[in-house]
Amino acid sequence: MGHFFLQLICVGTIAVFSQLGQPDDQKLRDEFRRPDVISFPEDAPYSPQVAALGKKLFFDPRLSGAQNMSCASCHNPSFGWETPAARTIGAMNEPLDRHAPTIENLAEAKRLHWDGKVGSLEEQASQPITHPKEMNNTIDDVVERLLQIPEYKSWFETLFDDGISGGTIVRSIATYERTLRSGHAPFDDWINGDDDAISQQARAGLDLFIFKAK
């Protein structure tokens, strides 16, 4: 009889714990579920042509002063759109002060850079071009150089009333960047309700990351 009650208490405790566990998991799942569609700002809606132009610019070293460095030199798609080193080497062959982070999944980001001081991808895109240690150029020189390239000139003139300008260059790059999304991971299966998709350690790590380690 005593044994039977002990069993009852145990089963009851497990039931209470799993009931406590369930709503928490559901809350986390709702919070971390990928959006079904990418958000584009009202004043910079998605256009496949603008994104394709932005892609061309992102991979084009002609944006840098010495034509030796593109955005992709530091945000390399082969390495998860970042640099696999603590500090990246810039166009002047000098290490930068900070690590180049991935640029995936930034369409919904409200603050950019390690210190959160940059508010939008458009605002961000001109900074590496003009930074003396990064691409070491001026916006006027980039515009001047792109105007000499007939393909760019006609693409920009087709897509934007004001053709090639600092504004249309960063608008194109930012539109392309918003399309960069990370691939499907086991974590996504967990989000979708498969409890066994990630290990117990990974599940504990998620709690630690969000709650205790903040």
Binding site for ligand HEC (CB under 6 A): 63, 69, 71, 73-75, 88, 90, 96, 98, 100-101, 103, 106, 112-114, 121, 124-125, 128-129, 134-135, 173, 177
Q: Which residue, among 42, 34, 47, 43, has the nearest Cα to 175 in the 3D structure?
A: 47
The encoded tokens of residue 59 equal 């991979």
> Min. distance of Cβ 65 from ligand HEC in angstroms?
11
For ligand HEC, the closer of residues 30 and 115 by Cβ is 115
Beta carbon of residue 108, minimum distance to ligand HEC (angstroms, whole number): 11
**Which residues neighbour 149 within 8 Å (Cβ) at sequence distance 6 or greater?**
62
Smaller CB separation from ligand HEC, 33 or 98: 98
Distance in Å, CB of 153 to ligand HEC, minimum: 20
Query: Which residue in the shown chain puts its C-beta closest to ligand HEC?
Result: 71
DSSP state of 78: G
Q: Between 180 and 190, name the residue whose CB sits nearer to ligand HEC.
A: 180
128 in Cβ contact with 142 (< 8 Å): no
Q: What angle, rounded to 10 degrees, do the helices at 150-159 and 48-58 form? A: 150
Toward ligand HEC, which CB reaches closer, 50 or 177? 177
Q: Provide the minimum distance between the beta carbon of 205 and ligand HEC in the complex, in angstroms, as a whole number.
A: 21
Whose Cβ is closer to ligand HEC: residue 65's or residue 128's?
Answer: 128
Q: Could you tell me the two tokens for 19?
A: 């009931």
The residue with tokens 């070491």 is: 136
Q: CB neighbours of 133 closer than 8 A, spacing ≥ 6?
A: 90, 91, 92, 94, 96
